[in-house]
């Protein structure tokens, strides 16, 4: 019996969204002091439950706004659920938002060490992995360039190369591969497969069902913040492709 490495139980999260648009931060503060701000509540997730076994490759699918990125952020510890619990065992390497953790004014090389520190790696560990990161990202001629001058594809290459050094317990990938070219996507898929063979659990979000089929063995289908279906990849994708 495989060990449960991620357990999501009855998770709901509510966001309070302002009913008005404010032209400046000053205007917002003044109205907040005068208690003139009104909100409407929005439940991004409602009673979501599933579990992920060690070594699984779980895909999260659904239309835009279904809550895929939100549940990943809760699992990664970026957001706290309004209700419910999430239990995670092991170290997480998150690739949730393109450019998250990067400083645009720093070079690619400097951002390697910055991101490594955010992931909990020491400077000496990053020095050992630096050459592998550069070679995998294929950005050797751009490592001394500020990342604000990188294209989205270049940024995704560097982010993926950093997040996948070593063998994390859990790798979270949210739409980052969608901005890369076909050849680099295949390269990333191969690395994910090797990591999974070494015991890494993968949580994967993509609008490409074909990519999900290639990478994942289990699927959670979210629809308007609720679990519509949870099961093996073939069965869930067959139903999803009918909509």
> What is the number of domains present in the chain?
1
> Range of 89's domain?
4-11+52-240
What's the pLDDT score for residue 99? 66
Q: What does residue 79 show for φ and ψ, rounded to 5 degrees?
A: -120, 150
How do 57-61 and 218-223 pair as beta strands? parallel
Domain assignment of residue 35, yes or no: no
Domain assignment of residue 43, yes or no: no
CA 59/CA 213 separation, integer angstroms: 9
Domain assignment of residue 47, yes or no: no
Domain assignment of residue 30, yes or no: no
Domain assignment of residue 17, yes or no: no
CATH number reported for the structural domain that contains residue 79 in this entry: 3.40.50.300
Which pTM value belongs to this model?
A: 0.80
What does DSSP assign to residue 1?
-
43 vs 95: which has the higher pLDDT:
43
Across the range 52-81, mean pLDDT stands at 94
Other C-beta atoms closer than 10 Å to the C-beta of 59 total 26
Q: What does residue 103 show for φ and ψ, rounded to 5 degrees?
A: -105, 115
Domain assignment of residue 28, yes or no: no
CA 137/CA 7 separation, integer angstroms: 33
Give the residue carrying structure tokens 């994910």.
192
Domain assignment of residue 41, yes or no: no
Domain assignment of residue 20, yes or no: no
Across the range 190-200, mean pLDDT stands at 86
207 vs 135: which has the higher pLDDT:
135
Reported confidence tier of residue 5, pLDDT bands at 50, 70, 90: very high
């Amino acid at each position: 019996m495989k060990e449960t490495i991620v357990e999501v139980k009855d998770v709901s999260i509510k966001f309070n969204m302002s009913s008005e648009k404010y032209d400046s931060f000053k205007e917002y503060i003044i109205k907040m002091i005068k208690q003139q701000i009104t909100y409407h509540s929005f439940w991004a997730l409602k009673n979501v439950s599933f579990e992920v076994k060690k070594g699984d490759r779980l895909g999260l699918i659904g239309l835009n706004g279904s809550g895929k990125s939100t549940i990943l952020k809760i699992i990664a510890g970026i957001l706290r659920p309004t209700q419910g619990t999430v239990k995670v065992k092991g170290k997480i390497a998150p690739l949730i938002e393109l450019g998250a953790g990067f400083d645009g004014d720093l070079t690619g090389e400097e951002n390697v060490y910055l991101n490594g520190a955010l992931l909990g790696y020491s400077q000496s560990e990053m020095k050992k992995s630096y050459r592998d990161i550069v070679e995998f990202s294929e950005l050797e001629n751009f490592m001394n360039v500020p990342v604000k001058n990188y294209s989205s594809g270049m940024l995704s290459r560097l982010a993926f190369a950093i997040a996948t050094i070593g063998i994390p317990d859990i790798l979270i990938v949210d739409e980052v591969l969608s901005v890369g070219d076909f050849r680099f996507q295949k390269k990333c898929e191969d690395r994910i497969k090797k990591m999974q063979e070494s015991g890494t659990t993968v949580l994967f979000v993509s609008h490409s069902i074909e990519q999900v089929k290639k990478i994942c063995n289990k699927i959670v289908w979210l629809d308007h913040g609720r679990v519509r279906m949870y099961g093996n990849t073939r069965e869930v994708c067959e139903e999803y492709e009918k909509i």
